[in-house]
Amino acid sequence: MAAAGRGRGRGRGLLARELPEDAQTRPGSIASEDAKVSENGVEVKKEGTSKQDSLLELQHILDNLTLDVSDHDLNELYQLAESASNTDNDIKHVTEQVYSKFTSDREYAKTGAFICEKLASLEVNGTKFRSLLLSMIQADYKDKDSLRSKSVSKFLNILSFMCQVFGTMRTAGGEVFKPLVSPLYECFNMILDSEQCDNDEYECLNEQLQSIGRDLEQSDRDKMEQMMFKIRSKVIRNGSTPQARCTLLEIIECHCRGWKDLANDVTRFYCDTMMDILTD
C-alpha cells in the first residue's frame, strides 16, 4: 500500500559524512582560514571557497544523500549551490545536478522537493533555479510517452518528483504551481487509460494521490471527478487484476475521506488484503 510520506526530519542529516579528499580545504589556503566546523564535526567551507570545490561538495552530498533533511542541512546546501553558481551556465549545471539526483530514485522525491524549495530563490543574472527546474520537468513531461515506453521505472521517478514539487513548492504568492496541474492529471490518466499497466504504476498513483490529492483536487475539481470515474470503472471491470483493484479501491476511499489519512485499522486491512492477494 501507499508508503508513509517522507518529510523533513532531524536524523542522520545530509552532511553527516566525510567529504571527498579532493574537496577538502588545503592547509594554508584562503578557504582554510575561512572554514567553519559544522555541528556534526564536518568541515564546510564558506568565504573563499572556489566554485569547483563547491561543485564537488554539492555532488558528493547528492551522491550520499539520506532521507532526513534538517534546516541546517538545507542552509549548507543553499550556500554550496550559491557558491557554485557564478554564471548562467553555472546555475544551469547546479539545477541539472539536483534534477538528475531526484529523478533517479522516487524514494527521494519528497526529500528532493524540500531541497528544491530551499534552492528556489537562487538566481544569477536573472536566471532562476526555480524556472530552470520547471523547464526540466516540462521537457520530461512532453516526452512522457517515450519515457514510459522505454522505462516505466524512470517515468515513475519523474512523475513522483513532479508530484512532490507540486505538493511542496509554492510561488511567491503562496500558491501551488498551476502549470503542473494539467500535466499531472494527464500523467495519471495515461496510467489509468493504459490496457497494459504495470501494478507498480497503480501503487505510485496511490502513493502520490494520498500525498497531493487535496491540492490537486482544489486546483481542478472537474478533472479530479473525471479521474475518479475512471478509477471506479477500473475497479468493477473484469479486466483489472485483484492487486490493481485493491490499490484503486484504497484511492477511492482516500478521496471519499477528503484525502485525510486513513485510520490504522483501514490501512492494515488494505495491507493484509494485498498480502493475501500476492501469496495466493
Q: What is the 3-state secondary structure (H, E, C) of 209-224?
A: HHHHHHHHHHHCHHHH
Residue of 245, 271, 185, 276 whose CA lies nearest to 3: 271
Check residue 262 and give left, alpha or beta (phi > 0: left; psi -120 to 50: alpha): beta
pLDDT of residue 160: 98
**Which three cell numbers, joined as nine digits, stand for 56?**
564537488
* Three-class secondary structure of residue 209 per DSSP: helix
Task: Give the pLDDT of the chain (280 residues) as one tens digit per residue.
Answer: 554 343 443 333 444 334 344 444 333 332 333 334 444 444 444 444 688 888 899 988 888 888 888 898 899 999 999 999 999 999 999 999 999 999 999 999 999 999 999 999 999 999 999 999 999 999 999 999 999 999 999 999 999 999 999 999 998 889 999 999 999 999 999 999 998 888 899 999 999 999 999 999 999 999 999 999 999 999 888 678 888 888 999 999 999 999 988 777 777 877 778 777 777 6
pLDDT of residue 195: 83
Helical segments of 35-170, H only: 51-63, 71-84, 88-102, 109-119, 129-142, 144-150, 152-168
**Which three cell numbers, joined as nine digits, stand for 151?**
522505462
CB 191 within 8 A of CB 202: yes
The amino acid that residue 260 corresponds to is K
CB 164 within 8 A of CB 110: yes
**Which three cell numbers, joined as nine digits, stand for 105?**
530514485
Q: CB-hemisphere CA count at 13 Å for 39?
A: 10
Domain ranges of the chain: 85-279
**Which three cell numbers, joined as nine digits, stand for 87?**
554564471
DSSP letters spanning 65-86: --S---HHHHHHHHHHHHHH-S
Predicted model pTM? 0.79
Q: Which CATH class is domain 85-279?
A: mainly alpha
